[in-house]
A and B are shown apart, each in its own frame.
Chain A
Amino acid sequence: MSAALRYEWVRTITVRSTWVLVALGILLPAALTLFVAWATSDFVASGQSAGPGGPGSENFAPFGLSGATVLLLGSLLVTIGAVAFGQEYRHGLIRVTLSVLPHRNAVFAAKTLMVIVVTVATAIIAIAAIALGNYIGLAIGGTSDPTTLSAGLQAQLRALLVVVFFVLVAMALTALSRNQPLGILIPIVGAAVVEPIITLIAQFQEWTWIDWVLPFNGAIASVNTTGAEAWGHLGVSAIWLAAVLIPAWVLFNRRDA
């Protein structure tokens, strides 16, 4: 296992795309948050809502976190998960990898662990950068974030888990399909296009249960909600993750390299 971890570490850090994605993942959501915080600082100062889930509303996640910024962060980092298997299959490197490391369980575990480590490290910095962007944006607008520290930390932890969920789903889908673009596109298109449309239809049909079924919107909802409901959404996402990760692991062991 330690050899597989060393292999994965070098594989991860010796690809330029890893560093580009990490940089984008940190900078873009922070920049977006800074802009939104500055633009909406009046609402925050007055205690008014800029709309459901928006700045100043009851459900608005603290320290600048919002469903949109977490979705952006998750969408940027899904590639880190997808390339863990995608690059190997695309370039036939998987045969080299499994010749050097013939224990497939160790390879799968090492890839999963390294993806989690890189994602968590990036997401922690990115979430801190988002909080900083929020602080600066509000300060420029002449106000400050009313969030209490404990509420903020819980939301940040959930945001971190949501990003890990996105990235691991991308990794599992790529391992299942052996198709990197598919592994990247499904979480992004699912979260940003397909599920919002389903949610819209569900609102007309009054399908209130739909929020508890959809994998990506449920995960995003855990950032915009609080307490047991927020953690419940994350639990649903965890079941979805298991539904793709376990078959990916089983097939990785059974299939030809």
Chain B
Amino acid sequence: MAIDVQGIGKSFGSTRAVDDLSFHVPDGVVTGFLGPNGAGKSTAMRLMLGLDRGEGATLYNGKTLKAYPHASQVVGTHLDARPFLPGRSARDHLRMLATDAKLPGSRIDEVLDIVGLAEVAKKRPKGFSLGMAQRLGLAGAILADPDALMLDEPANGLDPQSIQWLRQFLKHYASQGKAVLVSSHLLSEMQLMADHIVVIAAGKLVADGTVDELTSLRGDVLVRCDDADRLAGLLGEVPVRREGIDGVAINGLTTDAVGRIAFDNGIAVYELTKRTASLEDTFFELTGEGQQFAFKSVDSAEGGAS
């Protein structure tokens, strides 16, 4: 089940929250959906599900969600931190969601067991911690064993063990040929969890590719050698910068190419390293102008206080 997002858009008054956004969520991998606060991730997800009214279309294996007889078997969603009635027991909440696909009670118990809420199945969730609430939301999303999952910040409130479990679970889920779209602010976690990344800022698409593709775009090659100045000169128009006494950082060339140039020109190489940017570095570079509610820089904040 692949998801095709085709030109979705929405405005709130004069603010363009999502602007002609198109991307593809492939099956078989986890797709991370990244963007700074106010970038339009949640609005985009709601548009994809038809919850918000806007422009464009989202196709699930070529068809709209409404074209399927049981939407819960097409895409499972978890969009809000506490999407349940505080006075209805966890099991009854899932019973309600199970009605669409006429799922048996045994499936509800199975899912509660998967997310570790079996012991509190009959308790009302008004006293649930944020982590437990997230688990119940996830249980609702996977209940009908849908072909796609759409989760908005599912790791919020989870402890490190639970985050690790979530990562493994979602990777396993995707490995069954299902599409998984996850938004998150935890970039380091997303680097571990996602194979494919979609980045938006100010409602627009700014990057779409595999994690390796995105991080290598911002990576470079570090070479330490016996004549760094001469090597830098040999590279012509290729962007380089000096690092330390004998180091040169080179953008846009592979380690093989740099090694060949050094060898051909009789330059002794002490170190040749391919350096990839972290997803966090890439994210900041991609979305630097697109943060809607930005903090003041520490310097300017201190300046204002003095």
Contact = CB atoms under 8 A, between A and B. Distances in A.
Interface of A: 3, 6-7, 9-11, 14-17, 87, 91-93, 95-96, 98-103, 254-257
Given A95-B46, A96-B77, A103-B66, A15 B87 contact: yes
A96 B82 contact: no
Contacts, number: 83
Nearest to A103: B66
A166 B84 CA distance: 27
B85 A91 contact: yes
A14 B70 contact: no
Nearest to B96: A10
Contacts of B154: none
Contacts of B88: 14-15
Contacts of B79: 95-96, 99
B85 A255 contact: no
B97 A100 contact: yes
A14 B49 CA distance: 26
B41 to A, nearest CB: 15
Given A14-B88, A14-B89, A91-B86, A257 B99 contact: no
A149 to B, nearest CB: 42
Interface stretch (B27-35, B50-58, B265-273): B50-58
Contacts of A3: 70, 99-100
B83 A257 contact: no
Given A10-B95, A15-B88, A256 B46 contact: yes
B87 A99 contact: no
B290 interface: no
B71 interface: yes
Given A102-B71, A256-B53, A257-B51, A6 B99 contact: yes
A117 to B, nearest CB: 16
A6 B98 CA distance: 9
A257 B92 CA distance: 22
Nearest to B77: A99
A256 B102 CA distance: 27
B110 interface: no
A253 to B, nearest CB: 9
Contacts of B50: 98, 102
A96 B220 CA distance: 45
B82 A91 contact: yes
A250 B261 CA distance: 70
A11 B44 CA distance: 28
Given A10-B92, A10-B95, A14-B96, A95 B51 contact: yes
A100 B49 CA distance: 10
B189 interface: no
Nearest to B144: A100
Q: Which 8 A-B pairs have the closest CB atoms?
A: A6-B99, A14-B92, A257-B51, A256-B52, A99-B77, A10-B96, A92-B80, A7-B99
B65 A102 contact: yes
B99 A96 contact: no
Given A6-B99, A96-B97, A103-B66, A257 B46 contact: yes
B140 interface: yes
A210 to B, nearest CB: 40
Interface string B36-79: 00000000001001111100000000000110001110010101
Contacts of A6: 99-100, 102
Contacts of A91: 82-86
B81 to A, nearest CB: 9
A99 B53 contact: no
B49 A99 contact: yes
A102 B66 contact: yes
Nearest to A87: B85
Contacts of B93: 14
Given A10-B99, A96-B77, A100-B97, 7 more contacts: A91-B86, A92-B82, A92-B83, A95-B80, A100-B71, A101-B100, A102-B65
Given A99-B71, A99-B75, A101-B100, A257 B52 contact: yes
B46 A100 contact: no
11 contacts: A7-B99, A9-B99, A10-B92, A10-B95, A16-B87, A91-B86, A96-B84, A96-B140, A99-B49, A99-B79, A102-B66
A132 B50 CA distance: 51
Given A7-B96, A10-B96, A99-B71, A256 B66 contact: no
B95 A14 contact: yes
B82 A98 contact: no
Given A14-B92, A100-B100, A93 B72 contact: no
A250 to B, nearest CB: 13
A101 B71 contact: yes
